[in-house]
Structure 1
Amino acid sequence: MNILSIPLALYIHIPWCVKKCPYCDFNSHEQPEDMPYAMYEEYVDSLLLDARMQQPLTQGRKIGSIFIGGGTPSLLPIAQYQRLFTQLRIIFDFAGDIEITMEANPGTLEHAPFAEYLEVGINRLSIGVQSFAADKLVTLGRIHNPEQAVTAIKAARAAGFERVNVDLMHGLPQQTLPEAMHDIQLAHDAGATHISWYQLTIEPNTVFYRSQPILPDEDSLADIEQAGQALLQRLGYDNYEVSAWAGASDMPCSHNVNYWQFGDYLAIGAGAHGKVTIAHKALNDIELSGTELNNTEHNGLLAESGIYRFSKSRLPKDYVVQADGVVSAPKMVGWQAIAHDELVSEFMLNALRLHGGVDWPLFAARTGLTYDSIATEITGLINKGLLTDSKDILQPTELGKRYLNQILRVFL
């Protein structure tokens, strides 16, 4: 594999939120009301130590995009973002056109330092609105109201953000088709340049999983989805991925496209997960000081080229490692090579989400596998009308987009 041809991104996780939403299964933790400022400082100290530890994994590559997720990243004080990005630019080589996205909650943005975010280098916001209906926001456990959501979007645009994504859910408890369409229209009118529009799903280990709210029936869900897609198209948004719509003045989110095209990404923060391709180097050539990788049991993991995943401790208190008041580098709690059969399924799981498809050479470039290794499966899917009949591009047909899970099962 040509390591320099594989793009590299960075994910940063900020774990705190004001209130845990009943549908949320992300690694988020309610921030204590009396949380001392020193905890933010210690957390950023850990992020920077984590970043320095992972720097060798860049293997000479620049960081093309950064995504700050959570939790609610807008809870982290601006002074800490200034410190964080000043140091990250020293640790990593940023691409000149780097995209830096921060997730934000309208309920924490009333007095947000939008201009300061831009000065730090954050050039894209993703605002978690979910709905503009007051009763739906209450049901979803959101801490903002419709007016705050509209104000946040308009304020971000007025401050100079040219790229503002708005997260919206549909298929909410007791949601009608007109309500779902109103959400889309209002996001557009407020200034959203990109809309992530996805159906509410009930995940295990959430309040909704235990309480099981009454959702619209299948026919209503289908009607909402079809009407919403038609409205988004009329408003000038392009559906480049299952739930992602880029407006005429915006472009696809390059960070998420890197995921879907099976690129590499480093990950810092509590519970963060990363994926990295390793060129043919010995372990001693990539010294990850302060991690479990230096233990004898891990020797040889990096001796061969391959694709590896890793993760960090989920709980903030475990991620921030202290001894005698001194913060030390967070440990990697998982470092595992991705098996060849898993590489195929993971590549397809991501790539087939892109409606425009991906060039077939990308499969070999990102997985190290050959087309011949999956030719039988691909031919079968083409014969069923689920994949386009092309040697140049891997792309689901219109029928395939509707039966994506059926395609993916072939590669499990």
Structure 2
Amino acid sequence: MNASLLQLPPLSLYIHIPWCVQKCPYCDFNSHALKTDIPHQAYVDALLEDLDQELASVQDRQLQSIFIGGGTPSLLEPAQMKRLLDGVKEKIDCSDELEVTMEANPGTVEAGRFKLFQAAGVNRISIGVQSFQEDKLTILGRIHDGNEAVNAAVQANSLALRSYNIDLMHSLPKQGVGDALSDLKQAIELAPPHLSWYQLTIEPNTQFHSKPPTIPDDEVLADIFDAGRQALIDAGYVQYEISAFAKPGYQCQHNLNYWRFGDYIGIGCGAHGKITDVKQNKIWRTSKVKHPKGYLDPAKDYTFDRWSIDEEDIALEYFMNRLRLVEPCPRNEFSHYTGLSEQAIANPMNKAIDKGLIEQSESHWQVTPLGQRFLNELLNIFMENG
């Protein structure tokens, strides 16, 4: 890694709220079904103390975005959410255009509190709808119904937020093209500024992994994606990432920073972070203690692990993120954010270009439609170079 090449990228903050009402069978996130009351005040105290220990990572940068994920962050009391966000803003200089996203489930109790969360400082809500169809919601273990999902979106739309997102899954058990498009059509009719439309995958350490449901075969998956993508484009959405579609100007800035290999501080149970250290010429990864009991134990550190990315892995990690985006990738950004010269990836890049997976200009690399369709093959080319 060349110290003269490495530069500080933009900075975001990820905050993890680990509790949810019940664990969904497909979920592999660090979430814990509620067994007792949430320790609202104690957890916010811990988050702010966790952040204090991360302030050296800021390195005179402004915070560009905050993403509050989970679990179900909207289970946190709005007053404590306000205390949390006010505390962050006291500790870190924030951009005037700060995007503050909170994930929420569309149950009526939570949706009714959207206005309170807006007053607390949230200006973007991501609603975990997944499906509007009752049989699919049951299979997915969701606690809301289709009407509650619609009502949550209507309420979010009424608040004049900076933006809001609907999370929707496709390729669900027993789902054909018609079913998937019906869900998508209902989401489009609600006209959210942003739509995350992603394929159900069976992950390790989930209920679905131990008892796998029957999901559509590859041919049906391809038909669902092609038809759905076209429906979204016809409705005025722009695909800017594999699973993310937005009306022009409404891309999620926080996720863009992830995919552009930006930096992010991670606080809360199991939160991950990525921090560039120009002085030490290293890129660090961090992870926090996963279980709430351990995280709230005053005798323990919040940080579970901290390690630097090996130089031979940096290029792969960069492209695993950057190639998810449809936008062209500035070639000079690769060196600035990895500390590597282009020569380090000349062989795999030329191979990808020869296969028609990437196009190259003097200033940019661009993933081709073929490269988007065969992204795993494209990433394998860079993996083989490691």
Matched, 1:277 2:248: no
For 2:287, the equivalent position in structure 1 comes to: 311
**Aligned partner of residue 322 in structure 1, secondary structure:** coil
Matched, 1:263 2:234: no
For 1:54, the equivalent position in structure 2 comes to: 54
**Aligned partner of residue 406 in structure 1, secondary structure:** helix
Matched, 1:374 2:374: no
Please point out which of 21, 24, 39 is paired with 2:24: 21
1:57-136 alignment, distance < 5 Å: 57-107=57-107, 109-110=109-110, 112-136=112-136
**Aligned partner of residue 314 in structure 1, secondary structure:** coil
**How far is the alpha carbon of 1:160 from its aligned partner?**
2.1
Aligned mates of 2:42, 2:6 — CA distance in 1 = 34
Do 2:20 and 2:75's aligned partners in 1 also have CA atoms closer than 8 Å? yes
**Aligned partner of residue 164 in structure 1, secondary structure:** strand
Aligned mates of 2:93, 2:110 — CA distance in 1 = 33
CA shift in 2, pair 1:65/1:27, >3 Å = same
Do 1:351 and 1:357's aligned partners in 2 also have CA atoms closer than 8 Å? no
Letter in 1 for 2:207: V
**How far is the alpha carbon of 1:381 from its aligned partner?**
1.2
> 1:212-245, CA deviations, whole angstroms, 9 ceiling, x for partnerless residues?
1011122211111111011000010000000000
> 1:73-115, CA deviations, whole angstroms, 9 ceiling, x for partnerless residues?
0000101001111211111111110111011001264553222
For 1:138, the equivalent position in structure 2 comes to: 138
> 1:347-399, CA deviations, whole angstroms, 9 ceiling, x for partnerless residues?
00000000113101110010000011111211111111111032311221111
**How far is the alpha carbon of 1:198 from its aligned partner?**
0.7
Letter in 2 for 1:315: H
CA shift in 2, pair 1:98/1:147, >3 Å = same
Aligned mates of 2:205, 2:113 — CA distance in 1 = 34
Do 2:104 and 2:110's aligned partners in 1 also have CA atoms closer than 8 Å? no
For 1:211, the equivalent position in structure 2 comes to: 211
Normalized against structure 2, the TM-score is what?
Answer: 0.95
Aligned mates of 1:52, 1:107 — CA distance in 2 = 34
**How far is the alpha carbon of 1:179 from its aligned partner?**
1.5
Matched, 1:334 2:305: yes
- Number of equivalences: 380
Aligned mates of 2:119, 2:5 — CA distance in 1 = 35
Aligned mates of 1:3, 1:360 — CA distance in 2 = 14
Aligned mates of 1:84, 1:139 — CA distance in 2 = 35
Which 5+ residue runs of structure 1 have no aligned equivalent?
A: 281-303, 324-328
1:191-210 alignment, distance < 5 Å: 191-210=191-210
> 1:252-292, CA deviations, whole angstroms, 9 ceiling, x for partnerless residues?
11100101110100010000000001121xxxxxxxxxxxx
**Larger RCO (alpha carbons 8 Å, 6+ apart):** 2
Letter in 2 for 1:88: V
**Aligned partner of residue 95 in structure 1, secondary structure:** strand
